[in-house]
Amino acid sequence: MIYEKPRFLPGGDRALFVEFGDTIDPELNRRVKQLMLTIQGAELPELVEMVPTYRSLLVYYDPHLTSPEELRAKLKILTEKSEAGEFPNPKVTEIPTAYGGEYGCDLEFVAEYNGLSPEEIIRFHAGKAYLIYMLGFIPGFAYLGGVSPRIATPRLPTPRAKILAGSVGIAGNQTGIYPAESPGGWRVIGRTPIELFNPEKEPPALLQMGNYVKFVQITAEEFKQIRKEVVQGTYCIKETPFLRKNDDGSI
């Protein structure tokens, strides 16, 4: 649920949580994002950094510059301000994805498990906008919401030792992209040639919470071409403004 009033909870002596609720809910997540933008705009000298998540904003502060009590009072005011504020529309980042075959070794399984054809799985997965609820787990990894229950598939019983960077997977009713090579138990249905995390870029992560991603099917040929451009640094990420047409995030 979304609380009637946000809760201000201690995270030790250098951090405070502003918690808006305890569920996974796009509206709740939007409030977290709005508060983050409002605090960024306020340019508080005591602010160290913020960690926005599904349902709360963790605010790290410098205790040399404020007491927790003072900060709470400020955050209360900013929280009220953020609810009334105007904010820019989120954007949708296109993730070109090659599905199946060498790029998505579990596509056949996911299809069979759900009683659909591989093409139908792709149709359900690609072309719709998924909300980025937060980043975490490993650098650049986005927690996405809005997967069709028609393609939900349990994780592998034993995780694989190595999943390649860019792999697009399904785990239960979640979908995600591995930003770096990693062990993992997700069902890999495709792979993107674009970079999700690069510490030499600012910001280092391609995706940011509160925005959306849309998977766009590409061929193996296109995968190789885009990969080449990504390596050369000439690839241009496609982004469009998010238009609130449907509540379920589809556009």
Partner 1 sequence: MMEVFEVVQPGSLTTIQDMGRHGYQQYGVPVSGAMDSYALMVANLLVGNDEGAACLEITVLGPRLRILGDTVVAVTGADLSPALNNSPLPMWETVKVCSGDTISFGHPKRGCRGYLAVAGGIDVAEVLGSRSTYVKSCLGGLDGRPLRSGDRLCSGEPRAGISARKLPSQYIPEYQGENELRVILGPQDDYFTRKGIQTFLHSEYRISVQADRMGYRLEGPPIEHKAGADIVSDGIPLGAVQVPGDGLPIILLADRQTTGGYAKIATVSTIDLPKLAQAKPGDRVRFIQITEEEAYQLLQEYDRGIDALKQYIKCNDKDLRPSSKDR
Residues of this chain that bind partner 1 (CB under 8 A): 9-15, 17, 19, 22-24, 36, 48-58, 60, 63-64, 67-69, 134-141, 143, 180, 197, 199, 203-205, 208-209
Phi then psi for residue 124, to 5 deg, are -70, -35
**For residues 174 and 54, is the Cβ–Cβ distance under 8 A?**
no
CB of 80 to partner 1, least distance (A): 21
Minimum distance from CB of 42 to partner 1 (Å)? 17
Considering the complex, what minimum distance in angstroms separates the CB of residue 150 from partner 1?
24
Report the residue number, 69 or 102, with the smaller CB distance to partner 1.
69
Cβ-based nearer residue to partner 1, 129 or 134 = 134
Say if strands 91-99 and 212-218 run parallel, antiparallel, or are unpaired. parallel
User: Smallest distance from the beta carbon of 51 to partner 1, in angstroms?
Assistant: 4
Nearer to partner 1, 92 or 132 (CB): 132
Report, in Å, the least distance between residue 101 CB and partner 1.
Answer: 29
Cβ 7 to partner 1, closest distance in Å? 8
- SS3 of 29-60: HHHHHHHHHHHHHHCCCCEEEEEECCCEEEEE
For the chain, where are the E strands, in sequence order? Answer: 2-10, 15-21, 47-52, 56-61, 91-99, 129-135, 142-145, 160-163, 167-171, 174-177, 182-184, 187-191, 212-218, 239-241
Identity of the amino acid at 101: G
Helices 68-84 and 26-42: crossing angle in degrees, nearest 10, is 120
**Complex with partner 1: residue 93 or 114, whichever CB lies closer:** 93
User: Of 11 and 26, which has the nearer Cβ to partner 1?
Assistant: 11
Nearer to partner 1, 22 or 239 (CB): 22
Which CB sits closer to partner 1, 134 or 213? 134
Radius of gyration of the chain (CA): 20
Q: Minimal distance in Å, beta carbon 203 to partner 1?
A: 6
Distance CA 55, CA 19 (A): 6
What would the two tokens of residue 96 be? 């070109």
Sort 110 into a burial class: Cβ within 10 Å, 0-12 / 13-18 / 19+: buried
